[in-house]
Amino acid sequence: FSGSSASPKSSVISPSSAAASRLAGQGCDLIIPTGGRAQQKSGPVVLADEVKNPAMEKLELVRKWSLNTYKCTRQIISEKLGRGSRTVDLELEAQIDILRDNKKKYENILRLAQTLSTQLFQMVHTQRQLGDAFADLSLKSLELHEEFGYNADTQKLLAKNGETLLGAINFFIASVNTLVNKTIEDTLLTVKQYESARIEYDAYRTDLEELNLGPRDANTLPKIEQSQQLFQVHKEKYDKMRNDVSIKLKFLEENKVKVLHNQLVLFHNAIAAYFAGNQKQLEQTLKQFHIKLKTPGADAPSWLEEQ
């Protein structure tokens, strides 16, 4: 009370190791003087590993994409107007043009073969129905029994051979369709990626050339260095895609020759045997190419599958 002259002593607590760890974990600096007092230094918290902001990352990706798109669009327009230069591999470009032209021609063959298949299917269906009609009349017309009978046999034989030819044509269509719409299309997809890489390469090459033509000072040198790095990245990408296209074109040519050789032999032999009336040769052609037929609309094995 008022009679007391003693001033209250400040309590001193020596920090334990656990307390120190908690303080350190809170991002504060702990200072322990020689006198044993613990003082807490206030200030901004600095994290060793800065947490990246997903929104900022997305914004940066959009910025880079927009810049790249702008450069490529400018390069394309410049080429179309005849003002910009483009890198051309004459040998590779010629091979790509031939491939695209061949693809159009193969697609035309496919359309015609599909038309032939549809027409042949309709004819076979009509012949089968006509054969059944002749057979029915052969049983009911005793005076014309023989005439209706051999006409029925003829139409059924024609329908049978037509089904065999139809199987060969459909096998031809399926194989060529795979070649055109899968194998060739896959190669053309790589070609599109190569062409995009070429445009990017020329766009960044043009940027670097323009910077090298300008002044070199403290402001432009970092830009030139950065442009050189970007140019090198896109050059490596372009070289890789050009190599990929060359390899795919080589393998495609080998595969195309093998597939078309077999399918053209099949198509020729089947057509020739059918119109020559050589049933045995027609059947042998399908066996040679391991083609199994199934009568349309029937679950039972066809006559060829039972052989």
Does residue 274 carry a pLDDT above 50? Answer: yes
Q: Is residue 174 part of a domain?
A: yes
Q: Is residue 41 part of a domain?
A: no
Query: Which pLDDT band holds residue 68 (cuts at 50, 70, 90)?
Result: confident
CA 20 to chain centre: 59
Which helix (H) or strand (E) segment is 250 a member of? helix 220-275
Query: Domain range for residue 251?
Result: 103-289
Going from the C-alpha of 6 to that of each of 12, 13, 21, 258, the distances in angstroms are 18, 21, 36, 109
Residue range 1-28, pLDDT digits in tens: 333 334 444 333 344 444 444 434 444 3
Q: Is residue 17 part of a domain?
A: no
Please give the pLDDT value at position 158. 93
Q: Is residue 4 part of a domain?
A: no
Residue range 30-53, pLDDT digits in tens: 333 444 444 444 444 444 444 567
Going from the C-alpha of 92 to that of each of 95, 98, 281, the distances in angstroms are 5, 10, 44
Does residue 117 carry a pLDDT above 60? Answer: yes
Please give the pLDDT value at position 248. 95
Q: Is residue 122 part of a domain?
A: yes
Give the CB-side neighbour count of residue 127, counting CA atoms within 13 A. 18
Structural domains in the chain (count): 1
CA 213/CA 192 separation, integer angstroms: 32
Q: Is residue 87 part of a domain?
A: no
SS3 of 31, please?
Answer: strand
- Looking at every residue in the chain, the average pLDDT score rounds to 80
Average pLDDT over residues 246-270: 95
Neighbouring C-beta atoms of residue 191, cutoff 10 Å? 20
Q: Are 302 and 163 in contact (CB under 8 A)?
A: yes
Angle at 206 between CA 203 and CA 212, to 5 degrees: 145
Residue range 171-196, pLDDT digits in tens: 999 999 999 999 999 999 999 999 99
Please give the pLDDT value at position 72. 81
Q: Is residue 32 part of a domain?
A: no
Residue range 225-236, pLDDT digits in tens: 988 999 999 999
Q: Is residue 10 part of a domain?
A: no
Residue range 51-61, pLDDT digits in tens: 567 877 777 77
Q: Are 134 and 145 in contact (CB under 8 A)?
A: no
Residue range 237-250, pLDDT digits in tens: 999 999 999 999 99
- Domain holding 162: CATH number? 1.20.1270.60
Residue range 126-174, pLDDT digits in tens: 999 999 999 999 998 889 999 999 999 999 999 999 999 999 999 999 9
Q: Are 281 and 161 in contact (CB under 8 A)?
A: no
CA 274/CA 267 separation, integer angstroms: 11
